[in-house]
Amino acid sequence: MKTNEKKTVLITGTSSGIGKDTALFFHNKGWNVAATMRNPKAETKLNQLENVKCFKLDVCDFSSAKSAIADTIQEFGRIDVVVNNAGVYAIGPFEAATAEQIKRQFDTNLFGVMNVIKAALPHFRNNKAGMFINLSSIAGRTVSPLQTLYHGTKWAIEGFSESLQYELRYYNITIKLIEPGLIKTGFSNVAGNTLMILKDRSLSVYDDYADNIVSNLIKGNAEGSDPKGVAKVIYTAATDNKNKFIYPTGKSAHLVLFLGKILPRNWFHKIIEHALQK
């Protein structure tokens, strides 16, 4: 076990995208980093860095989360911040979703966060200190077409996180939310195993409406902001010592959230739908 005075962050989903960039950012700022992923043996960059340790963690498995927490404490002595980043993205008509796709969306994006938090809470309570930073999305406060499952998980994360603050503040445990807009991540790549397109050949009735919107959603993510910017915001949330709960970031995030707040709901829906149907 290391006994240095560096702070330690545990990050889920660090094999690519926001998770990997966040691990690198914290490392460059001098933190100990527990970079967790489902297959750490496949990682070739993070495991070469000093004070970075790659651990196996499947967020859908509570015992895996407990093991990763224990391994991190054994390696670095303590955990100061947990970043719940791991996620998948399902787009397409809800009727076309299989039971397996629905389960995977919620198991990863919602129940996975709960698994990691529940596994880390005893350590934070005993230390009377700690912070959870949960990756939500502007999709947790607004809605757009053909993202029913994704919106469902992100709206749930927002409510879960905000309510959980009440019972944890007495133990000096903080929760913060990051709300990215369009970000260049594996969500734009089916081969990356984080994007699920919901499509059923027997439901071609949806094709005229869905195909163009799905294509534009994928394109929007591919052309989004650099995930390094999100990593910087996550680090800011971890270190600014502010009593701040929500951190929007990324292309148009503030504008979309502002429009969603001030416009009548049907106006906002029409604007979003029109933009995605172009």
- The highest-confidence range among 105-119, 171-185, 187-201, 264-278, by mean pLDDT, is 105-119
Single out the catalytic residue among 15, 136, 144, 225: 136
Confidence of residue 164 (pLDDT cuts 50, 70, 90): very high
Our answer to whether residue 136 is catalytic in this structure is: yes
Q: Mind listing the pLDDT tens digit for each residue in 242-251?
A: 999 999 998 7
Q: What is the 3-state secondary structure (H, E, C) of 66-127?
A: HHHHHHHHHHHCCCCEEEECCCCEEECCHHHCCHHHHHHHHHHHHHHHHHHHHHHHHHHHHH
pLDDT at position 191 is: 43
Token pair, residue 57, equals 């963690």
pLDDT at position 1 is: 52
Which contacts (CB < 8 Å, 24+ apart) does range 65-74 have? 65/115, 65/116, 65/118, 65/119, 65/120, 66/119, 68/10, 68/34, 68/36, 68/119, 69/10, 69/116, 69/119, 69/120, 69/123, 71/34, 72/8, 72/10, 72/34, 73/123, 74/1
Lowest-pLDDT range of 2-16, 118-132, 158-172: 2-16
Question: Is the pLDDT at 2 greater than 70, yes or no?
Answer: no
The CA-based angle 173-236-4, given to 5 degrees, is 65
Stated pTM of the model: 0.93
Single out the catalytic residue among 154, 176, 184, 251: 154
Q: Mind listing the pLDDT tens digit for each residue in 36-87?
A: 999 999 998 999 999 999 999 999 999 999 999 999 999 999 999 999 999 9
Average pLDDT over residues 194-219: 93
Confidence of residue 190 (pLDDT cuts 50, 70, 90): very low
Single out the catalytic residue among 89, 150, 206, 235: 150
Domain-wise residue ranges, the chain: 8-277
Question: Is the pLDDT at 192 greater than 70, yes or no?
Answer: no
Q: Mind listing the pLDDT tens digit for each residue in 123-145?
A: 999 999 999 999 999 999 999 99
pLDDT at position 182 is: 86
The CA-based angle 58-64-66, given to 5 degrees, is 130
CATH architecture type of domain 8-277 = 3-Layer(aba) Sandwich (3.40)
Question: Is the pLDDT at 165 greater than 70, yes or no?
Answer: yes
Confidence of residue 232 (pLDDT cuts 50, 70, 90): very high
pLDDT at position 11 is: 98
